[in-house]
Amino acid sequence: MFKKLLIFKLILFQVIGLSIFQVKKLSAFIPFYNLPSEKFLKLNGSEIGKNAYQLLYFGQLKEGLALAKLAISLNPDDVNLWALLAEAQINNKLFDDALLSIQKGKLINPLVSELYFAEGSIYLNQNKKQKAKKALKQGLEIKPKNTTALFQYGNIFLMEKNYKKALSKYNKIIEIKANFWQAINNKGLIYFEEDEILLAINNFTKAIEIKKNPESMLALGVSLKDTNKKKSILLVKEALLKDPNYVSLEFRKEQLWGEKLQKATEELFKIEELREDISIANLYKN
C-alpha cells in the first residue's frame, strides 16, 4: 500500500523588510516584520491539513500528527482540522488527546459527524461500548449512510451477542454498499453461531467473491469441514498462507469470532493434513 513516500517543501513565513541601521558610536539591529494576514494563515492551515492527511494515508503517522498540530495552530477555528488532528492522534494511540480535540471541534460546530465517529472509535478501542454506541448514534443522526460507522455499530451488537440488531446494521450497510464484504462476512459469523451453517457458507462465499480475504476463506473452510473435507483443507491452507495471524485464537477473537466457530476451528487445526501449515503459521504470525 505504501508505494511512495510523500515529499514536499513547507514554507511557513517569509521575513521581509529587514533593515540594519549603523551609527558610528552605536550599532542598532532593528528587524521589521510584515506579519501574515489572518486569511494567509487560514489558507496555509488548510493546505497543511491536506498534506497531513496524505501523510496519515501513506502511514507516516508521526509526521502526519506533527503537520496536523501545525495546521490547527495556524487556523484553530477550522472544525475540519480538529477532526483531522483527532484522527492523527487516534492513529498514534493518543486517545485522551484525541478526545480533547473532538470536544474542541464540537464547540466550533456540533454538527460535524466525523467528530462523533472518531469519538465512537476511541470508546470502542477502550471497550466502552455504551459510550461508543451513543457517539456513533449521534454521528449517524447527522450522516445516516456512513457505512464505516454503521459497521462499528453492528460490531458492538455482535460483541454483545445481540445478533438481531447486528444483522439489522449489516443489512443496512449492504443496502447502501453491496460490495462491503466485511459486513457480509460478519453475517456469516452470526449465522454460524446460530447453527445456520448453510447461511454462513453462503455469506462467507459471497464475501470471498467480492474480495479473496483470508478471514472469510478460513471461516468457509471451517464451515465445510463436515461436508467437503478436501475443499475445507485447501481453503484453510490458503487462508493461513495469506495471513498467518489467523492461526491464533486470540487474533480471531479480535475479529469477533464466536465460541462455536472458534471451537470448530481448533478442532479442524488438529487434523494431520494441516499440521505443517499450522506450524509454519505459528512461526510467521504477528
pLDDT of residue 218: 98
pLDDT of residue 57: 84
pLDDT of residue 219: 98
Which H or E element spans position 263? helix 259-268
Say how far apart CA 154 and CA 2 lie, in whole Å: 30
84 near 49, Cβ under 8 Å?
Answer: yes
* pLDDT category of residue 51 using cuts at 50, 70 and 90: confident
C-alpha separations of 9 from 6, 68, 211 in Å: 10, 15, 38
Q: What percent of the chain has pLDDT over 70?
A: 84
pLDDT of residue 53: 83
Retrieve residue 122's grid coordinates: 476511541
Say how far apart CA 86 and CA 107 lie, in whole Å: 14
- In this predicted structure, the answer to whether residue 38 has a pLDDT above a threshold of 90 is no
* Cα dihedral across residues 98, 104, 106, 109: positive or negative: negative
Nearest Cα residue to 150 out of 161, 164, 166: 166
What lies within 8 Å, CB to CB, of 12 at 6+ separation is 44
pLDDT of residue 4: 37
E strand residue ranges, the chain: 19-22, 27-30
CA 172 to chain centre: 20
Which is more confident, 22 or 250?
250
- What mean pLDDT do residues 203-228 have? 98
Domains and CATH numbers, the chain: 179-286 (1.25.40.10)
pLDDT of residue 32: 45
- In this predicted structure, the answer to whether residue 196 has a pLDDT above a threshold of 70 is yes
Say how far apart CA 2 and CA 216 lie, in whole Å: 25
pTM: 0.80
- What mean pLDDT do residues 79-97 have? 94
Q: What digits encode the pLDDT tens for the residues 94-111?
A: 999 999 999 999 999 999
